Amino acid sequence: MKEFIELIKEREIGRVLEEVSLKKYTSYHVGGNARCMVFPKDTKKLVELLKLCNNKHVKYKVLGNGSNTLFSDNEFEGVIIKLDDFNNISMINKYTIRVGAGYSLIRLAQFAVKKGLAGLEWAGGIPGTVGGAIYMNAGAYKSDMGYVVKRVKVLTPNYTVITMTNAELDFHYRSSFFQSHPGYICLEVVIGLKKGDREELINVMKDRQERRVASQPLEYPSAGSVFRNPEGNFAGKMIEDLGLKGLTRGGAQVSEKHANFIINIGNATASDIKSLIDLVRDAVKDNYDVELKCEQEFVNWE
């Protein structure tokens, strides 16, 4: 692996970090170390890196802000790829924004609101990247990325860059084409919005942010809602009704403020969090015969 890292540096693919604690790059603040983290300069360098990984049989993981990812406590023997430099943003026309996958979703929502554009007010408190939001089809307040995305520039497993339309991206509740097609990487997104009243939009975003603070345990590290809401019900209510609020394993706890949050109350391990997720899911299955689907992505648990 050391020789591989030196090769990446020689190719000047981008900034390289070694022996990186993934606690610093995930919103749960847990996870083991990664042998290497690379920030490719552009698409050409990203392709070069991916070819190196595949040719040398080195595993890799593209990571956004780590706001919906649970790495194990084990070392990640491979490369974490961060698209932070894919952070361009520009207006195509007065209602359409082109934005890089590494751009902050919160910053994008703020950018849109300042332009008096409606359609992204719900995203003002979601701490992910645009690429991560596309992957998860992030959403809130009965809206999601599927309502505003027009097209996405995608890197395929064959290293070709294609453009996919909204219809091709298969957006559904907390799911997208990318989840079922590993190896496809979101590079850039075109967002279509509508004209709105700037002051009104600012007030809506402020109100929703205040509601998040009031109802969610944002003072602790977490990854947002753990489970998707089953049809016709709310995961948080089901968990609360089972009396699981406050349940603790090590440094992890089912939040007493919002039962669909698992929080790091102090030096939690990834295993602490995973054990709580499994326990809650099993309890709901046993009592309601409902299989809750986890919103978080589990990495390096094999």
Cα–Cα separations (whole angstroms), residue 214 to 39, 127, 138, 282:
36, 17, 21, 29
Q: Is the pLDDT of residue 141 over 90?
A: no
Order of strands, sheet of 248-249, starting from the edge strand that comes earlier in the sequence: 248-249, 252-254, 262-264
pLDDT of 302: 83
To the nearest whole number, what is the mean pLDDT of the chain?
96
Q: Is the pLDDT of residue 256 over 90?
A: yes
174 is catalytic: yes
Q: What is the mean pLDDT of residues 18-39?
A: 97
18 is catalytic: no
Identify the band that residue 273 occupies on the pLDDT scale cut at 50, 70 and 90. Answer: very high
Cα–Cα separations (whole angstroms), residue 62 to 38, 90, 151, 183:
10, 24, 20, 9
Q: Is the pLDDT of residue 84 over 90?
A: yes
0.85 exceeded by pTM: yes
295 is catalytic: yes
Is residue 197 within 8 Å of 121, Cβ to Cβ?
no
Domain chopping of the chain, boundaries? 2-82, 89-214, 217-299
Rounded CA gap, 118 and 138, in Å?
17
> Which CATH code is given to the segment(s) 217-299?
3.90.78.10
Q: What is the mean pLDDT of residues 117-141?
A: 93
Catalytic residue among 225, 249, 255, 281: 225
- DSSP 8-state class, residue 230: P
Fold of 89-214: 3.30.465
Beta bridge partners of 140: 143
Rounded CA gap, 231 and 288, in Å?
13
Fold of 2-82: 3.30.43
The set of residues, in sequence order, having a beta carbon less than 8 Å from that of 167 and lying 6+ positions away, is: none
Q: Is the pLDDT of residue 97 over 90?
A: yes
Catalytic residue among 174, 188, 249, 281: 174
